[in-house]
């Protein structure tokens, strides 16, 4: 049994999956398996992974009918048997020291969770995503983005996932990682940090274009936020609840509406959406210092652009 399983969900990833798997294989730490879950790819992804598996003895390839990234990740969890799990998307990359440094930290104190920082990879240029690495009040600082982490940054003790029956929510295509990781963080009794930037999150420069932007993501934001809020097993404290609903959710709604205005959406439609979520927006909190101030200013900006006089 390997010490670590790296789970890679895959769907039509022929452009990047070779580089992704090779980046994992190039880790200096070698006691790991790669679990590739092909979620019904129609391109050459399967052929690429199968060929790689012939050269590496630690690649486990599974094919399933297309059900989305959450289903693929859950499938991978069910087929893992290592003490620790990591997740990597099919177009993202590891630094060669990622597994070594996180495993050293998490195993030394038998911690439940270990994280590092990540880099944004845009047009093959690397931009570290600056984060604060704050251990105290970790979930709150994650939700208000003082702690900025991507799913690729996490090394998780598998027992935490199994004991608390944590799964990726499958009936959505957005926000599933935040919901899953928030549960992992909350159930982790001890968390360690490697204050280095050791993964690479590939960003498509066109992702914010009109063709890829979708206002339905607001509904998904609201849905996962209240699933977390209403989860009695999480036992969120008041500060975490305010970070989740009265800060993060408000910010998600406001920022998406501002983006929609920038992209030229019909203002009447955006006013209807604003009115729907106005009770949430006006209930924002002011307890998070400069982040609360920035949210307030963005809310004022949004309201002016929508033609309203006051918040």
| Terminal Cα distance for the chain, rounded | 57
d(CA 69, CA 300): 36
For the segment 47-65, what is each residue's pLDDT rounded down to a tens digit?
999 999 999 999 999 999 9
Determine phi and psi for 302, rounding to 5 degrees: -60, -45
In the structure, what pLDDT confidence band is assigned to residue 204 with cuts at 50, 70 and 90? confident
- The DSSP output letter for 152 is G
For the segment 125-171, what is each residue's pLDDT rounded down to a tens digit?
999 999 999 999 999 999 999 999 999 999 999 999 999 999 999 98
Determine phi and psi for 53, rounding to 5 degrees: -65, -25
Beta carbons within 8 Å of 298's beta carbon, 6+ residues apart:
251, 254, 255, 258
Tell me if 239 sits within 8 A of 186, measured CB to CB: no
Question: Residue 238 above 50 pLDDT?
Answer: yes
Helices first, then strands: H and E counts in the chain: 12, 9
For the segment 185-199, what is each residue's pLDDT rounded down to a tens digit?
999 999 999 999 999
In the structure, what pLDDT confidence band is assigned to residue 174 with cuts at 50, 70 and 90? confident
For the segment 284-299, what is each residue's pLDDT rounded down to a tens digit?
999 999 999 999 999 9
- Secondary structure percentages of the chain, helix, strand, coil, to 5: 45, 20, 35
In the structure, what pLDDT confidence band is assigned to residue 211 with cuts at 50, 70 and 90? low
Beta carbons within 8 Å of 219's beta carbon, 6+ residues apart:
none
pLDDT on residue 310? 57
* Model pTM score: 0.95
d(CA 131, CA 172): 27
d(CA 177, CA 174): 8
């Amino acid at each position: 049994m390997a010490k670590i399983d790296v789970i890679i969900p895959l769907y039509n990833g022929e452009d990047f999956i070779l580089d992704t798997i090779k980046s994992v294989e190039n880790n200096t730490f070698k006691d790991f398996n790669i679990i590739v879950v092909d979620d019904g790819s129609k391109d050459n992804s399967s052929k690429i992974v199968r060929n790689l598996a012939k050269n590496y003895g630690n690649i486990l390839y599974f094919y399933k009918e297309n059900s989305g990234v959450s289903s693929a990740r859950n499938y991978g969890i069910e087929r893992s048997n290592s003490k620790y799990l990591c997740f990597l998307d099919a177009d993202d990359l590891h630094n060669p020291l990622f597994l070594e440094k996180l495993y050293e930290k998490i195993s030394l104190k038998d911690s439940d969770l270990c994280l590092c920082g990540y880099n944004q990879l845009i047009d093959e240029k690397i931009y570290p995503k600056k984060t604060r690495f704050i251990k105290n009040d970790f979930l709150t600082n994650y939700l208000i983005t003082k702690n900025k982490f991507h799913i690729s940054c996490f090394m998780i003790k598998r027992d935490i996932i199994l004991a608390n029956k944590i799964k990726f929510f499958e009936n959505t295509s957005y926000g599933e990682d935040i919901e899953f990781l928030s549960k992992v963080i909350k159930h982790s009794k001890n968390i360690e940090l490697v204050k280095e930037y050791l993964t690479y999150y590939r960003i498509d420069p066109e992702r914010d274009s009109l063709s890829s932007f979708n206002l339905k993501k607001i509904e998904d934001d609201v849905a996962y936020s209240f699933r977390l809020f209403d989860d009695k097993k999480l036992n969120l404290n008041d500060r975490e609840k305010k970070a989740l609903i009265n800060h993060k959710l408000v910010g998600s709604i406001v920022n998406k509406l501002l983006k929609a205005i920038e992209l030229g959406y019909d203002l009447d439609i955006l006013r209807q959406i604003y009115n729907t979520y106005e009770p949430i927006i006006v209930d924002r909190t002011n307890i998070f210092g400069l982040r609360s101030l920035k949210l307030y200013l963005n809310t004022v900006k949004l309201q002016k652009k929508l033609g309203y006089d006051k918040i």
